[in-house]
Every structure is written in C-alpha cells, then in structure tokens.
Structure 1
C-alpha cells in the first residue's frame, strides 16, 4: 500500500526514519516539525534518495491552529491517506520543580496535537467520503512512571487512551487509529537528549539490545497497510519485550519454603 502520508516530528529520530522508509516505498510524504533547518535537510535527503521531495512545513504543534492548518495544507496538495503522529517532547523536570507551563506544554505537544491532527484529518476525509489510517507513536512510559517525567509519562498514557477514543468514534467512518509503543530507542536527539547513564538504566529488555528507529518501521507499515484493515484501537508494543517485565531483578528468594513446596503438613487446631 502507498498513498499520501503526513508525518509529524519528521525532522529527526523516529519520525525521520518513518519518513525515509515510506518515501522509499512509494508514499508521497508531507512532513512537519518545529525545526525548519532539519526539515529542509530531510526534504533534500529524500529527494536525493527517491527523486520525490516531500512537502514540508515548519511550525509548533503546541499551537492548536497550526496543528489543524498543517493537515489542511497537506490535504490541499492531495487528500491524505494516512497520518503518523511521531512528534513528542521528553523534558526532565522533577515533580517538586513542576510548573503549570511545563506540564501544559508537554500535554499540548504530546496529547492535544495528535488529537487535533487526527480530528482535522477525519473532518477532511469524511467530507469527501474517504478512509484513512492513523498511527500514534506512544511509549512504554505510559505504563511505567520515571523520575523527572511525570508530565511525559502522563501524556503518553493519555495518548494511548486518545488512540482508543478516536478509534471508537471514527471507525464507522472507515478511519482506523492505532498506536506503536516503543521501548527505549536510541535516536541521539538534540530535541530530547538523554544521558548515557539514563539510556543504560532504562534500556534493558529480554532481547538484550537497545532499540533503533528502524525497529519500528515494520510495525508502522503494517498498521497503515490493508493487512491491518480490521485493526483499530490497538497498541502494538515494539520494545524488545520490555512490556513483558524487567530483566534487571534478581530472584526474589533462593529456593522454596516448606509451605511453597508442600512439605509442611497441616496441623490440627488445639
């Protein structure tokens, strides 16, 4: 399957990898990000690789007007078949230093923007009786709190529920809304930097290696494709098994107690 896809947060990291992958497979890409210089680099890179330059528009998705306008701008070139909401911010702020502004900005970018872009897409699609597919990039942090990330973890939990809520209401219009939930993915982002110490602490998983942006591409392609045409409201973990549990804990006890292995016999009362 191919078509016209809008990708948010497309200038680097996971968003850029998705843009390059879909472009190489024949998709027409429209891309948005806060960083105009990196968007131009993406445009030039994809043009050099595939001969097709993506439509790019820089702006701040925390601005609700821009979140809706970028969909309208992409649609004006060609109706959209898909939307990938990959934009997100991951600031570090201890809870005792949290402010309303810091909390609100994370919620605006990570939760409100994908909801607004999805709604904007749905309005255009339903007006023209078209179907579409949406993939949100959420996080395992939706289920596991982390120090200094109360706003981020809460936003990803909200994005997971927003995915389900949008799927519920848009399904009858032929618009599917799903999510991919990555584990720790090494992207070397200047927008969302992390220390090596943090990466080492958060990345252990059953498959034993740090994730890379390329690890998510098959899941995104699948959820956008006709092979997933009866899937909506789903959250697909792509995390090396992190959601299954942690590999970093020792056995909680050496062996079994007599009560656990059945060698202790019941005693009569009195």
Structure 2
C-alpha cells in the first residue's frame, strides 16, 4: 500500500496500530489527527468546521489516497440518563465527523480526477447494544448507514467507502475503563480470545487497498466470530440426542 493515508484518532491504541500497519507496508506518507509527531494535525473533530479543515490541510501536503475515520468516543451512559449535550457530542464525533471528512475528501478527489478509499471504524455495538452503551451503539448504527449512503453516491467517482467493525478489542479507555469481568465475558466468542489492535489494523489495510477494489458499501466484521452467535450459552438439550426424544 503506497500513497498518502490520513488517519483520525491516531492517538488511541487502535489508531496507532492502523498507522503502524500502513507504514510497515509501504505507505509513503501518513498524516494523523490527534497524535503528536512531525506529521500530526491537531483538531477537535466535534467542531463543525474541523473535519473538512484537516482533510484540506492533509491534501495540501499530498493528495490523500486513503482516509481512515478512527476517532470516536464510547462513554458508558444509560438511555434513561443521557443528556442532549452528551448525545450530540457522541454523534458529532462518531457520525458527523466521518461524514464531513469523507465529503471533504470526495470533493477534492473529484476535482483532481483521482480515486480514493475511505474506511470508517464501526463496532459490533451497531448490531447489539449493552447496558450503558445505547448512545454509542446508536451512533455506530448510524455510521454504518452513512457508509452505505456515501458508497452509493460516490462510486461513480471511483471513491470507495467501507467500514471495518471490530468486536471486543482490549485497549485502554479513559472514558469507559473495562473491568476484568467484562473482558472475560466479551472474550467468549468462537475463537476464544479478545481481538488485538493488530487484528483490526490488518483488516483496515486490506479493505482500503487494491485487493478490495471491487468492494464498496460493505461492513467487514472482525470479531472472533461473535456475530455468528452466542457460543457461551448452554445447549437447549442435555445431549445431542435429546432433541429426538
């Protein structure tokens, strides 16, 4: 993967892993948002004008070939208690910012007559919420539909828009620290372990790259098989022959 890759939210464990994955496989230039370093852009993507600004600034360094929208917040707040301000902030960063960065990149790429690839980072929460996760789950469900809508409209301009949906990945979070008990429960998937940032980063690079050139509007779920079903639930019958009795 050569070219210019723009990654938002690169200060987090997942964003850092994605940047490292692209760098290790030949990306010529990586511009990251919210991480220190010589190529970093500092921005508050909750502010309406900031998503487009960082895309334009990144493009001024070199045309952007790949945009990875990884920035996001996932506070634990019940639907009974969430305030209008909390709800709006979650949706501003998790949905509006990726939409606006995609829009800005698309306009620049179309004007320049260049293809581009966008990968949004979704979550298994888009399909299945948890106590305290309703606002976050709602934002990720909205992001997946925004991914499809953008793919539908931008395909004729050779701009692909996809999403990668991680299952449970053990990374540090100041806004929603994970307990050991939660880690144990969330590791009960068919492959029997939590994911790693590297697992997700490899999928992001593949989806963004030429190997997936005929893919757009898709959500690729990297979750250890969690979406296949609930492997930790007991059997309905005490034995394989119980159903025949």
TM-score category of the 2 structures, normalised to the smaller one: over 0.9
Tell me which residue corresponds to 1:139. 123
Tell me which residue corresponds to 1:158. 142
Residue in structure 1 matching 2:237, options 241, 249, 253: 253
The higher relative CO (CA closer than 8 Å, separation ≥ 6) is in 2
How many angstroms apart in 2 are the aligned matches of 1:256 and 1:174? 51
Q: CA RMSD in A?
A: 1.6
Shift of 1:191: 4.8
Tell me which residue corresponds to 1:46. none
Tell me which residue corresponds to 1:175. 159
Shift of 1:5: 0.8
Length, aligned pairs only? 244
Tell me which residue corresponds to 1:214. 198
- 1:77 equivalent in alignment to 2:58: no
Tell me which residue corresponds to 1:204. 188
Tell me which residue corresponds to 2:218. 234
How many angstroms apart in 1 are the aligned matches of 2:170 and 2:135? 21
SS at match of 2:128: coil
Deviations 1:170-225 (A, max 9, x none): 00000000111110001123354222222222232100011110011221111111
SS at match of 2:50: helix
How many angstroms apart in 1 are the aligned matches of 2:175 and 2:54? 21
Tell me which residue corresponds to 1:20. 20
Shift of 1:22: 1.0
SS at match of 1:97: coil
Deviations 1:127-172 (A, max 9, x none): 1111000011101110001101110001111111111111000000
Shift of 1:19: 0.7
Shift of 1:256: 8.2
Deviations 1:45-65 (A, max 9, x none): xxxxxxxx5x21112111110
How many angstroms apart in 2 are the aligned matches of 1:100 and 1:90? 16
Q: Structure 1 unaligned runs (5+)?
A: 34-38, 44-52, 264-270
Matches within 5 A, 1:82-97: 82-97=66-81
How many angstroms apart in 1 are the aligned matches of 2:32 and 2:240? 57
TM-score by length of 2: 0.95
Tell me which residue corresponds to 1:64. 48
SS at match of 1:246: coil
After superposing on structure 2, the runs of 4+ consecutive aligned residues of structure 1 that deviate more than 3 Å are: 255-258
Matches within 5 A, 1:99-118: 99-118=83-102
How many angstroms apart in 1 are the aligned matches of 2:108 and 2:14? 26
How many angstroms apart in 2 are the aligned matches of 1:248 and 1:164? 32
Contact 1:160 / 1:235 at 8 angstroms: preserved in 2?
yes
How many angstroms apart in 2 are the aligned matches of 1:231 and 1:172? 13
TM-score by length of 1: 0.86
